[in-house]
Structure 1
Amino acid sequence: MKKRTEKLLALATLLAMGTTALASCGNKAASGESASGEAKSEGKVALSMAIWDEKQRAMTESLVEAYTKAHPNVSIEVQLTPYKGGEYWTKLEAAATGGKAPDVFWLNVLHTDSYVDGGILADLSDAIAKSDIKDNFPESLVNNYVRDGKNYAVPKDFDTNALWYNKEIFDEAGVSYPTNDMSYEDLVAKAEELKQAGLDEGVYPFACPVDFQTWYYQTVFANGGWILSEDKKSSGYEDPKTQGGIQCWIDMIDKELSPSSAALSETSADAMFEGGQLAMTFAGSYMVPEYTSNDNIKDKIDCVELPSFNGVDTNCINGLGFAVYEGSKNKEAATDFAIWLSSKEAMDIQGNTGVVISARNESQELFAKSSDKYALAVYTAHTDKAYPLPVCKNAAQLYDMESKALQKAYSGEESLAEACKALKTEADAFLAKNQ
């Protein structure tokens, strides 16, 4: 126990350093302090479940209600902690260090390696092998949580990306709307057409923030570039193909088709789009509830598929999973609940809310059907071709390192080649320490 506690304390320190890099794919998280499932009298089993998104609280309560109705001997307490500032992970790690983490909790792929090393995650391999998960979920999502042949989480949902546009801005400029068959060159041409039409002051055709998952990873991979080697021992930042997939966004800033990197550091692309300051932007599926409930833009917007790059349909896929605490006093019951959460019944409950895309293949279409106002089917159009997020141990720190280095290139302080050369040296030294 002493060895595990030491690992967890070290883990908490390391993860606290990297929380700022998680905003694009996990900016909606929270943790739960735990009373880890001690059995009550009269045969009752009490479980706790930690989540991080207020928008999913009601849906999660519906899942709990459905499960406990069929399992009257089980009670489940939903614990929500805000994700902001890494509070979810800080609280979860503190609870695990004290041996009282939630029995079931949301896990993202960025924390999987560190939590496996810290002894927090139960091995669900046998339970998953007995279920229908491997036949009914995208292989990339199942494999997100496999380490050394062991599976540590059940896929919950996933997010991909789409191009959103403001129809009012296009109409006023007299420019045709984006379409599903655009290329990167078409995107640039559309942005230039908008600029030449004369947009209102403070309004831009597009935005190019230093955003790995939603922007440049997709074009890096489509261009044949890479971020991490298969053995996680080296980085691909100096590869010309990698840099080509990043430079394309810097070029748009240089052409003033996007706000400067300094402006986007102060006001996010999402905030600018919601404020009517962008004609187009990229957005993950996790932003859909926010966009479509925003009174300023909800009646003016729609979405299409991401533009292809070098003839390649491109997207980056990431998601969440349901994990079980290794130290749970009711691990068998917690595992049963986690596996049930992958069932069609559970995935349909989740999918019908329209808040996230359920990971189960036959439930994915519910996200698109949740609204007849927006073309949300674009988010699941090419999931079979989407690139999984590259991860390593303490990946959040790598992303933070990457963001800081690339910010110098986006701002013009350094050339991309100079920034990537220094980044590779720093990243490879980091990877050597995190094997």
Structure 2
Amino acid sequence: MKRRSFLTGAAALAAMAVAGCGSKESGSPSAAASIDANTSATLTLAYWDKNQTPTVQANIKSFNAKYPKIKIQTNLTSYADYWTKMKTQAQGGELPDVMWMNGPNIQLYASNNMLEPLDSITSQGVDWKNYPDALVTLYTYDGKHYGVPKDYDTIGVFYNKDLFKQAGVEEPKADWTWDDFHDKAKKISDWGKSKGIYGCATTINGDGQGTYYNTIAQAGGYVIKDGKSGYDDPKSIEGLQCWADWIKDGSVASAKIVTDTKPDVMFENGKSAMFWSGDWMASQLAADLKGKEDKFGVIDLPKKEKKGTIIHGLAWAVSQKSKNKAAAIALAAHMSSKEAHEVEAKNGTAIPAFNDTQDAWVKAFPKWNMQLFIDAANDYAVTYPVSKNTDVWANKEADILVPAFDGSTTVKAAAKQMADFMNAELAKEK
């Protein structure tokens, strides 16, 4: 949920298409060639998380140690305003030279000729094998790379050891199953009913990344494949039905409950024993639960047919219309280096995408087994589902699926409605 942008659907796509109506050719082959140390240029770099400013500034400093005459102007915008501003800049052909890009938007910007293909960035030392395959795939469109992975997130289950103990329920163990999760959640909910305590409260009110995208994958289903929706696939329906079943018997708090009180608040206040969420919650939970960290734990997601977790993350992208494209690509390459990712790890706000640079991030949370998020990315991660205009169908998920989770309609009917809507929108992208 934290990673999703909310553009204005088809209208945004149309506006982008107008802005990108020029040549579809990428920049000149020499654009990615190594630049001279004395190159002079001014570049803009856009990002949205002020907590990562120290990382951004540190990596700009090391870049300037190599290229002292390249001036970097940073553009920090709140996440709420970032994509609105990007759309306006895209329409005017004035995107930042280098920018953060996310999964839901990569195909929209790439397909409308806003981003520079970065396959030739390998000449500057970038090797795609240094990043999780699923994340590299996420930023690949029409056979070309349009973003170099910066950081990533996978999903796990945070849990309250004290509530498990008080309810007389054994703590979860690695390789647990849906049945194990359901049994534990149900027992804790039954025990805590009079106290308003649930076995699990999570973002089931529309956050597929943290909830049903994962169970769909674990059941062997899919959200999108080959330009078609997978919502009406029997395995995908199974991955949705489990949430309706868990909510129906009280094992998991309903969408209404977690809309009224955020699930992280419920978890921190002892009103839920488990919380499905991404590694991005670690910093907040560690800060809010300071001094009590050993009373909490984290474990990998339960499995069904197989293990599965959605992987998403950010990437560095370059504007195709940059007036200093060679310098911009050099900056993106530097921000994607092992050196830059090691700084990212020390920052502690996100898992760096460069393989084998995550130790510092893991060690920032010594009380918890944070390695599981990295193992998940390397071993069984599933790429975040996207299309050219992701938000036009993703923003309908809550409207269509939540009523099924809460029992107002059947999961099968909602899945068919979602698939029909999605396929109609996907057809417009062709």
TM-score bracket relative to the smaller structure: 0.7 to 0.9
The count of corresponding residues between Structure 1 and Structure 2 is 398
Deviation of 1:328 after TM superposition, in Å, equals 1.4
Counterpart in 1 of 2:71? 75
Assess if the C-alpha contact under 8 Å between 2:237 and 2:411 holds in 1.
yes
Which whole-Å deviations, capped at 9, do the CAs of 1:317-374 have from their partners, x for residues lacking one?
Answer: 1111000111112111110010111211111010122211111112133321222122
- Large movers: runs of 4+ above 4 Å: 9-12, 295-298
Q: Superposed, which structure 2 residues align to 1:206-217 within 5 Å?
A: 206-208=200-202, 209=204, 210-217=206-213
Counterpart in 2 of 1:293? 287
Tell me the distance in 2 between the aligned counterparts of 1:43 and 1:365.
35
Q: Superposed, which structure 2 residues align to 1:268-283 within 5 Å?
A: 268-283=262-277
Deviation of 1:240 after TM superposition, in Å, equals 1.6
Return the TM-score normalized by structure 1: 0.86
Counterpart in 1 of 2:44? 48
Counterpart in 2 of 1:434? 429
Whether 1:391 aligns to 2:386 is yes
Say which of 223, 232, 243 aligns to 1:227: 223
Whether 1:337 aligns to 2:335 is no
Secondary structure of 1:279's counterpart equals: strand
Q: Which runs of 5+ in 1 are unaligned?
A: 1-8, 18-41
Whether 1:348 aligns to 2:342 is yes
Residue type of the alignment partner of 1:360? F
Deviation of 1:298 after TM superposition, in Å, equals 5.3
Secondary structure of 2:302's counterpart equals: coil
Whether 1:161 aligns to 2:155 is yes
Tell me the distance in 2 between the aligned counterparts of 1:283 and 1:298.
19
Tell me the distance in 2 between the aligned counterparts of 1:130 and 1:44.
18
Counterpart in 1 of 2:4? none
Residue type of the alignment partner of 1:146? T
Residue type of the alignment partner of 1:422? Q
Tell me the distance in 2 between the aligned counterparts of 1:297 and 1:433.
53
Residue type of the alignment partner of 1:244? E
Deviation of 1:255 after TM superposition, in Å, equals 0.7
Deviation of 1:416 after TM superposition, in Å, equals 0.8
Residue type of the alignment partner of 1:287? M
Q: Superposed, which structure 2 residues align to 1:245-260 within 5 Å?
A: 245-260=239-254
Q: Percent identity at matched positions?
A: 34
Counterpart in 1 of 2:299? 304
Tell me the distance in 2 between the aligned counterparts of 1:395 and 1:101.
20
Assess if the C-alpha contact under 8 Å between 2:212 and 2:240 holds in 1.
yes
Residue type of the alignment partner of 2:12? L
Assess if the C-alpha contact under 8 Å between 1:166 and 1:297 holds in 2.
no
Classify 1:358/1:301 alpha carbon distance in 2 versus 1 (closer, same or farther; 3 Å).
same
Residue type of the alignment partner of 1:257? S
Classify 1:237/1:135 alpha carbon distance in 2 versus 1 (closer, same or farther; 3 Å).
closer
Tell me the distance in 1 between the aligned counterparts of 2:224 and 2:238.
16
Tell me the distance in 2 between the aligned counterparts of 1:179 and 1:59.
35
Secondary structure of 1:119's counterpart equals: coil
Q: Superposed, which structure 2 residues align to 1:80-159 within 5 Å?
A: 80-84=76-80, 87-128=81-122, 131-159=125-153
Classify 1:174/1:400 alpha carbon distance in 2 versus 1 (closer, same or farther; 3 Å).
same
Which whole-Å deviations, capped at 9, do the CAs of 1:71-101 have from their partners, x for residues lacking one?
Answer: 21122122211112xx101111212322332
Deviation of 1:251 after TM superposition, in Å, equals 0.7
Secondary structure of 2:198's counterpart equals: coil
Secondary structure of 1:212's counterpart equals: coil
